[in-house]
Structure 1
């Protein structure tokens, strides 16, 4: 018997659970895993809804990748967004629960099974509501990251087995590209009014010959070490009126050592921008 199925993905929860085990989940791997699971269980996927804060460095360009595979993405900004933006804790959880309940109440006959990709115990009331309406629920999470109250509904065995049994790729060492990365960003900041995050990532990728994943790792490392700051910047010329920019920490010893006297030109740029 073929069952109509709808999937809801708490992408940050799944991504983080795997990342903590040393694996970086890509849109391609996630979609392949969902499709294989559906085929194995004779499910027909009616729709996939995926929720994440796509402003996170880790998810750079992933929203487009998901949209190309007909996934309905929901960008939900949260606690890792711009420093000046108010926190929205559990924002993705709330959005997912509201949309899932709307579909449950208005399109009940269009599906037989809910696939819920998360390990977060906050979704237990949703699971109970779906079951109360006579629908089957399968919770898919990362082993070791599934809340104990969701365990009775878990069907996670072997879901990511192919990914987790693959040999891990050689680890990228962000430290080796730090000095060159500082120089690349300094050059951009000497020639542009400001360096938007997208422009910075593209330049780093091109000049370092680095992959998207490696650039993400490099920026994460630079942010963690205080070499780089991210900030929301107002620009009336943009449709949304603002963008995220990267700023070198001119007080950091490594930045000072790499840039030398050129650091004063960057400092003047920052003063003109009003970001110092």
Structure 2
């Protein structure tokens, strides 16, 4: 039987993260492919929806595209810089595309996979079933809305793929002061520091993984120690990039940098007038 999958990636990722695990594209796709194989389904297409601007999903879109997953970047959901914009936008995009395929390419699939735990998708599932398609919901154990349970037979779907022991928790506070110094040094030596370069530099100098760097940056953003904004650069194809700036008015930043704060402040003033 032919199957098509739609993935509410942020919902699945968050459900596992709250249980102490960080889902990777590789684990997700390995799980789906094995489930399909065990149930004699042939996956004709996989569509995945997320705000790939999130620090947690850095490089995830590229990883998915390389293994032939159709990704949909839906900006503005759970973004530290714009938390109030386009709430549930990914859900709307998924529902609209799923219904379009259902109505215009009905023969594309026999079975509809939906990876989520969000009960807002219940009307979509009823619509798909009304068109004579089988429906399977795959979610995170303990994080699935009770009304979706009737569509789920996957049990602990990710159980055999996740490590039995949770990884030791990373404490970003321990690396915070050194991270501030690293970012400051970069910003004193270059016109601006793109977010990608900042993450690589932090990973290299701190000796931590990219996943831990993401956690460190999320912590610094949440505490108001780090700020993010877009920087216009005509030399780039898209004309802009995301940059990280230290909050020079924050007491921790001032304590770490001392007199260097004023020099960095002058550089930030030039960025704003660029």
Do Structure 1 and Structure 2 share a fold, with TM-score over 0.5? Answer: yes
Q: Distance in 2 between matches of 1:57 and 1:161?
A: 25
SS in 2 for 1:189: helix
Q: Which residue of 1 aligns with 2:11?
A: 13
Q: Distance in 2 between matches of 1:249 and 1:140?
A: 42
Q: Which residue of 2 aligns with 1:243?
A: 241
Q: Distance in 2 between matches of 1:19 and 1:156?
A: 19
Q: Distance in 1 between matches of 2:104 and 2:35?
A: 26
Q: Which residue of 2 aligns with 1:200?
A: 198
**Alignment equivalent of 1:213, drawn from 211, 214, 230:** 211
Q: Deviations over 1:75-105 (max 9, x none)?
A: 1102333736971111111111111111111
Q: Distance in 2 between matches of 1:108 and 1:20?
A: 37
**Gaps (5+ residues) in structure 1?**
none
SS in 2 for 1:181: helix
CA contact (8 A) 1:9 1:49 kept: yes
CA contact (8 A) 1:83 1:232 kept: no
SS in 2 for 1:102: helix
SS in 2 for 1:206: helix
Q: Distance in 2 between matches of 1:192 and 1:80?
A: 30
Matches within 5 A, 1:70-149: 70-81=68-79, 83=81, 87-149=85-147
CA positional deviation for 1:148: 2.1
With over 3 angstroms needed to count, the CA separation of the structure-2 counterparts of 1:85 and 1:273, relative to structure 1, is: farther
Q: Which residue of 1 aligns with 2:183?
A: 185
1:161 aligns with 2:180: no
Q: Distance in 1 between matches of 2:82 and 2:240?
A: 12
**Gaps (5+ residues) in structure 2?**
none
With over 3 angstroms needed to count, the CA separation of the structure-2 counterparts of 1:81 and 1:238, relative to structure 1, is: farther
With over 3 angstroms needed to count, the CA separation of the structure-2 counterparts of 1:30 and 1:150, relative to structure 1, is: same
SS in 1 for 2:68: coil
Q: Which residue of 2 aligns with 1:67?
A: 65
Q: Which residue of 2 aligns with 1:225?
A: 223
Q: Deviations over 1:154-185 (max 9, x none)?
A: 22302111145621122222122112111111
CA contact (8 A) 2:11 2:117 kept: yes
SS in 1 for 2:53: coil
Q: Deviations over 1:188-234 (max 9, x none)?
A: 11122222211211211222222110110110111122111112233
Q: Distance in 2 between matches of 1:112 and 1:188?
A: 54
CA contact (8 A) 2:141 2:157 kept: no
Task: Please give the TM-score of this superposition, normalised by the length of structure 2.
Answer: 0.94
Alpha-carbon RMSD across the aligned residues, in angstroms, is: 1.7
SS in 2 for 1:96: helix
Q: Which residue of 1 aligns with 2:52?
A: 54
The number of residues matched between the two structures is: 273
